Amino acid sequence: MRVMAQVAMVMNLDKCIGCHTCSVTCKQAWTNRTGMEYVWFNNVETRPGQGYPRRYEDQEKWQGGWVLNKRGALKLKNGGRFKKLAHIFSNPKLPEIKDYYEPWTYDYKNLTDAPLGDDYPVAEPRSLITGKPMKIEWSSNWDDNLAGAVEHGPQDPMVEKVREQAAEKVKFAFEQTFMFYLPRICEHCLNPACVASCPSGAMYKRNEDGIVLVDQDRCRGWRQCVTGCPYKKVYFNHSTGKAEKCTMCYPRVEVGLPTVCSETCVGRLRYLGVILYDADKVTEAASTKDDKALYEAQLGVFLDPDDPEVQRAAEAADIPYDWMEAARRSPVRALISKYKVALPLHPEYRTMPMVWYIPPLSPVVDALTETGHDGEDADNLFGAIDTLRIPLEYLAEIFTAGDIAPVRSSLNKLAAMRSHMRAINLGDVPDHTIADSVGMSAQEIEEMYRLLAIAKYEDRYVIPTAAVGDAKALEESAVPDTCSLDHEGGPGMGGDGPFGQDSGSGKKQLPLVSIENFHAARKRQTSDEEPADVREQQ
């Protein structure tokens, strides 16, 4: 057993309102640079829809992820090592910028500089790639809220798959349509195909927290990672000629703060926490023959931090105590392994993704209520799940390689939770058969309810800091070993430190963390009281 820790995420799709706040704040923080205009480390897709980049799930075209070879061993879908090197001079499967979208700005200057005339001056769109006037025809969320669904919806690769089996299940007629939002970031997979595709060895998975990163000094721009990633979450910076990707906001996670997308999520639907897994079992689990068994296989890789044997192995593997503690309290582990309501995104890509999703139930309740039934009655709900507006088959294509059982089980648990909690809210005695029917105890249901409905900041984000493990190193680094003035730019030049241009003047070498600030910030962010009350308490 080789115990490793992974910072993982779960998103509760029921709560996503598709506001794109996560995308926008992520873009502000990470990709508002030349060369990265078209890049969204975090994007929110309306499903059914083509996604970003267009039809990225069509692996017959884009060749991402892993497949099993004739001997049943894992092989990159885009070809083995020799094939990759033979294709190094051009990557035939690389998406072009136009497959994402051509980024643009507007010619705002014309609004003020246009000569006097009869017409209002307009700000025409200008391509950020060519600088020429362009016609805006696509973007990262062009089919947002099913815009143009009649035209674009059928092109969703997952819709195509479902229709092969049950043509009448997916409809785009206005009265019969359905949709939900799917926020996506890098999956920080346990068996990352991008890392395996990188010829230079520039991409790596961090030992401490499992975050997958690109070493910008080692990347040589061969672009194989872009193809390797089946989720198309590695991007090519066309200005620097290097690959870039979601960093799981590691500078924040290292000091115990949630990622920007989680922090700013309006619906508070994201959960962050540690999961322990057995690194020795990953390859075996990813090589599971049956696509539909991959979900269970991945669950089998995760380790229980309460198991004494795991604890001993973790100690041997130098996993700090606070990480073990975090693994025990991990909301992510609870949703994935304990309640089994969260499901992986496309396990059939065999990358063992680590950003999981709780499938959406809300449309069922609404649909039921509209038909005059009691939307929160257990019997009605259970019956309705199989005739969902969002067909189970479609959800299953996304989350469980087409196996309906885990999706139904997850939705049944959510439905049971609603009925159970409604009874409690109305002062009735909850019917224990409801909990029994989904294989949970009343207590478990109530705990799950707490986690899903009212979990506070510190319950949603249980992130051990890298700093505690490295407290000593941190103390030392707090005192810069060089004069803060003797760097590029010279005395008084100032510049962007970790705290932005205005924090301190010219102290670029400040370490990223200051322990007091961290705790103060955390208190401020997590307290439910008015700031005035906080002041009184102190």
| Total of residues contacting another protein (CB under 8 A) | 69
Q: Among 217, 428, 528, 536, which residue sits at the site for another protein (rule: CB under 8 A)?
A: 217
How do 302-303 and 270-278 pair as beta strands?
antiparallel
Q: Which stretch binds another protein (CB under 8 A): 173-181, 326-334, 405-413, 508-516?
A: 508-516
Three-class HEC string of 2-17:
CEEEEEEEEEEHHHCC
Q: Which is nearer to another protein, 87 or 373 (CB)?
A: 87
Cβ 304 to another protein shortest distance, Å: 23
> What part of residues 182-211 is at the interface with another protein (CB under 8 A)?
191-192, 195-196, 198-201, 203-208
Distance CA 367, CA 388 (A): 8
Site string for another protein, 25-64 (x = CB under 8 A): ---x---xxx------------------------------
Cβ 79 to another protein shortest distance, Å: 12
- 493 binds another protein, rule: CB under 8 A: no
User: Using the 8-state DSSP alphabet, how is residue 192 labeled?
Assistant: -
> What part of residues 247-266 is at the interface with another protein (CB under 8 A)?
254
Q: Among 176, 495, 525, 534, which residue sits at the site for another protein (rule: CB under 8 A)?
A: 495
Cβ 503 to another protein shortest distance, Å: 12
Q: Among 104, 236, 295, 349, which residue sits at the site for another protein (rule: CB under 8 A)?
A: 236
- 174 binds another protein, rule: CB under 8 A: no
134-162 core/surface letters (b: 16 or more CB in 10 A; e: else): beeebbbbbbbebeebeebbebbbbbbbb
- 96 binds another protein, rule: CB under 8 A: yes
Distance CA 237, CA 219 (A): 11
Handedness of CA 162, 165, 169, 172 (dihedral sign): positive
- 285 binds another protein, rule: CB under 8 A: no
Q: Which residues pair with 275 in a beta bridge?
A: 6
Distance CA 356, CA 335 (A): 9
Which residue in the block uniquely carries the two structure tokens 């539909």? 292
Distance CA 127, CA 114 (A): 20
Distance CA 64, CA 226 (A): 8
Three-class HEC string of 23-85:
HHHHHHHHHCCCCCCCCCCCEEEEECCCCCCCCCCCHHHHCCCEEECCCCCEEECCCCHHHHH
Cβ 468 to another protein shortest distance, Å: 13
Cβ 487 to another protein shortest distance, Å: 6
Q: Which is nearer to another protein, 87 or 292 (CB)?
A: 87
Cβ 200 to another protein shortest distance, Å: 5
Q: Which stretch binds another protein (CB under 8 A): 336-344, 400-408, 430-438, 503-511?
A: 503-511
Q: Among 125, 470, 484, 485, which residue sits at the site for another protein (rule: CB under 8 A)?
A: 470
Longest dimension (CA), the chain: 81
Distance CA 14, CA 180 (A): 8
Q: Which is nearer to another protein, 44 or 466 (CB)?
A: 466
- 496 binds another protein, rule: CB under 8 A: yes
Cβ 24 to another protein shortest distance, Å: 13
User: What residue type is 55 in one-letter code?
Assistant: R
Site string for another protein, 128-147 (x = CB under 8 A): -xxxx---------------
Cβ 23 to another protein shortest distance, Å: 17
> What part of residues 73-92 is at the interface with another protein (CB under 8 A)?
81-82, 84-85, 87-92
Q: Which is nearer to another protein, 189 or 310 (CB)?
A: 189
Residue-wise DSSP of 405-463: HHHHHHHHHHHHHHHHHHHHHTTPPP-HHHHHHTT--HHHHHHHHIIIII--HHHHB--
Cβ 182 to another protein shortest distance, Å: 24
Long-range contacts at 518-525 (CB < 8 A, ≥ 24 apart): 518/255, 518/256, 518/257, 518/465, 521/257, 522/256, 522/257, 522/458, 525/457
Contact 341, 363 (CB under 8 A): no
- 287 binds another protein, rule: CB under 8 A: no
Token pair recorded at residue 507: 């102290």
Q: Which residues bind another protein (CB under 8 A)?
A: 28, 32-34, 81-82, 84-85, 87-92, 94-97, 129-132, 191-192, 195-196, 198-201, 203-208, 215-223, 236, 238, 240-242, 254, 466, 470, 473-474, 477, 487-489, 495-498, 508-513
